[in-house]
Structure 1
């Protein structure tokens, strides 16, 4: 390996990509071919390597092949050509010794998943809050999506993906706790935003609602809840957790409405797009509407009784 060559940086979170120095490396559009799968497996296992039997299983799995070992040799040969054609220095790249396949490049190679694991271990042993905060930020910023999503159908990728998601979720939870303790609500909002996009049903929106309320941005908090409640109802047919409903009641009670003309109020209450059919509203809104209508009916019934009484 030559330290004088640019670093090959590999990203496995949120999709497979690589850059050689500052130049993006294109291995072709299709990242799910056998050759590209082999490349990603070798990069992921790095210096440790992977046994031939395990490699055959991860590449071919349940495929019935007359000679899987020969297929692997052909795939490895094809991969070496793909790597050089992509613009990387001419080299063998695949080291095979005693049945172990290893990535062997002439340049330093950095893989985000490897760095991610190192950082997560550093966090566990770190006792300094300031240093821990910096480490947690690095972890959360490094996680840009699921581990190798294009290969999510492969069993080994699925297993690794679950582990990485758990590390990310635990790290983000701890980061939010530390940031909120410091009163850094705006930064907490920023770090939670990607989590809400990646995992909208894990209720990271609840943390954002807490931050909005701490910043006295109650309208933003209500909007966050309404969007989440609508998403849960339309996609899963369920309502948000009891905790989020309690948040809704809390922030609703703190909203201050300025006096307005009756005409302005009517105009703001009009639907932008009037359509027939069922009317969607969140459970807390439905509950309040039900109580209001019930009381109106009670008053109406009392007036009716008074009118018909002799």
Structure 2
């Protein structure tokens, strides 16, 4: 990847003439079954450009209640696009078409249409971060998206980890993306590129997205040097993702044998492992692990998130399980842990 970055053919992406960026965009659009794609610095930007492109200030947008785009992007939907979040309660990040219908509701002639914020966009996340890397069944996500369309909504897929859904199921990214107007995919995460995500959709929508990319400060110059890393990841690292899933499953199985760790290994579908602690503060727990050279994130008062990626080794898993076992035998129990941010 570093060699590809060093050899990258570059231009000026603001003027649309960086050949490596253009190649990355074209290949991503093809993989997702869309007409065009736009390369941007981050997945947060691709998601937020999509929201801005699909909505007007004062609109309402449907999010699953623990969605990354709602919880973990700095309040950007409201701050940047001026939209009102409307939340759908999910089960590990998944929800049904009936829930979408209920959230939108039915108009009645007695009620003025101008009183409430019009719901204009539905967002889905696959795989779902806060759900523990949950993969949407393609039939369910398609049904939800088509229901949104039938109700007059645009539909956006936060597919930052869509590559993982394909790696886990064998269903192509294009099939997952087919029912959605726009889809965002990330080249870092377990793909291992240093920078960037793409937003894909119709040519008309991507022309609009380029306006907001520039508006948000996302204009690149010689961006081919980082696009080359993303291209390398796209070409060489997607086939490595099942290994990260296998490591996550082995780690979850090891956790299930440690006293005080609460986890159902069967819920681990991709590269994210979420587990709970029995009577132990997650903040104190991850601090103690960090002192032993193991980095994880607290999530709420007793939850922990571990993520597996290309640089993790089998020895790392063994070392992490040993460290966790050691911490759990020595850490002070806390009947009412203070919550941290959920991530």
Same fold (TM over 0.5): no
Q: TM-score, normalised by structure 2?
A: 0.26
Flag the structure with higher helix content.
1
**Structure index of larger Rg:** 1
- Larger RCO: Structure 1 or Structure 2 (Cα < 8 Å, ≥ 6 residues apart)? 2
Q: TM-score, normalised by structure 1?
A: 0.28
Flag the structure with higher strand content.
2
